[in-house]
Amino acid sequence: MAKLTQELQTDHFQNEWQKAHLNIMFTAGWLKSHLLKQLKPHQVSLEQYNVLRILRGKHPESVCLKDISERMIDRNSNTTRIIQKLETKGLVHKSNSVEDRRELSIVISLEGLSLLEKAEQSVENQHLQWANLTETEAQLLNALLDKLRG
């Protein structure tokens, strides 16, 4: 990937903070588009992939809809709709919670686990794009991004 100034075809920024802000937004879009290419053959969206990863982290336990929503990368995602699509595909099972019948409990299915494993092999190709960062640089990047979010 070219430098931000080449990608945006400008080298004029108000200050380094504005340049960093634009660089983060541009890079997020770049990463998202590459990740979408890796997930497309598996017929799963980024949001569905995120839900499956959340559910796998608790497997074999179920997770309530509220907890999934709180752990989503994009907090504006329509988690109910995402769960419905995953259930239609047979990738999750949902039921009413034993403790609170108003609450849904969701668990990843064996099909969901299998698809997630295959998708993650494809996603690993995306991570190879990061090979130009050393582990120390990746740690520094993580620390700076955490600091930015306060």
Give pairs for 107-111: CB < 8 Å, separation 24+.
107/55, 107/59, 107/60, 107/61, 107/62, 107/63, 108/52, 108/55, 108/56, 108/59
Per-residue pLDDT reduced to its tens digit, 58-115? 999 999 999 999 999 998 899 999 999 999 999 999 998 777 778 889 999 999 999 9
Number of domains in the chain: 1
Q: Is residue 148 part of a domain?
A: no
Residue 92 contacts residue 112 (beta carbons within 8 Å): yes
Per-residue pLDDT reduced to its tens digit, 10-37? 889 999 999 999 999 999 998 899 899 9
Q: How far apart are CA 150 and CA 143, in angstroms?
A: 11
Is pLDDT larger for residue 132 or for residue 62?
A: 62
Query: What is the domain range of residue 61?
Result: 16-137
Q: According to the model, what pLDDT value does residue 134 have?
A: 86
- Residue 129 confidence class, pLDDT cut points 50, 70, 90: low
* CATH value at residue 126: 1.10.10.10
Q: Is residue 73 part of a domain?
A: yes
Q: Is residue 47 part of a domain?
A: yes
- Residue 1 confidence class, pLDDT cut points 50, 70, 90: low
Q: Is residue 20 part of a domain?
A: yes
Rounded (5°) CA angle 124-92-94: 150
Q: Is residue 3 part of a domain?
A: no
Q: According to the model, what pLDDT value does residue 127 have?
A: 73
Q: Is residue 58 part of a domain?
A: yes
Q: Is residue 124 part of a domain?
A: yes
Q: Is residue 46 part of a domain?
A: yes
Alpha-helical (H) ranges within 10-109 are 16-39, 46-58, 65-71, 79-88
Q: According to the model, what pLDDT value does residue 85 have?
A: 98
